[in-house]
Amino acid sequence: MTRNGRPTSRLRRLVDDSHLGYTMVTAFERFLETFSPPFVVILGLLLMALIGLVDAVTGTFAVGIFYLVPIGLVTYARGRWVGTLMAATAAAAWGGVEISQHVTTWSQAVTYWNFLTRFYVYEAIVLLVAPMRDVVQWERTVAAREAEAADKLRALNELRAALGAEEQAKLDSLEAMVELRRVNSQAEIAVTTF
pLDDT at residue 4 tops 70: no
Whether 135 has a pLDDT exceeding 80, the answer reads yes
Predicted model pTM: 0.61
CA distance 192 to 17: 82
- Could you tell me which residues come within 8 angstroms of residue 125 by beta carbon, excluding any fewer than 6 positions away? 68, 71, 72, 75, 87
Q: What is the CA radius of gyration of the chain?
A: 35
Closest CA to 86 of 50, 42, 35: 42
Which distant-in-sequence residues (6+ apart) come within 8 Å of 100 by Cβ? 56
pLDDT-derived band at 120 (thresholds 50, 70, 90) equals very high
Q: Domain locations in the chain?
A: 35-193
2 pLDDT higher than 70: no
Q: Which of 53-57, 101-105, 137-141, 148-152 has the least mean pLDDT?
A: 101-105
Reduced to 3 states (helix: H, G, I; strand: E, B; else coil), residue 18 is coil
pLDDT band at 174 (very low <50, low <70, confident <90, very high): confident
Q: 3-state SS of the chain: helix, strand, coil percent to 5? A: 85, 0, 15
Is the distance from CB of 135 to CB of 29 less than 8 angstroms?
no
pLDDT single digits (tens) 57-75: 887 677 888 888 899 889 8
Per-residue pLDDT reduced to its tens digit, 5-61: 555 565 555 455 545 556 676 777 777 778 888 888 898 999 988 988 888 888 767
Round to whole Å and give the CA distance between 56 and 100.
Answer: 8
Q: Please report the pLDDT score of residue 161 as a whole number.
A: 85
Residue-averaged pLDDT of the chain: 81
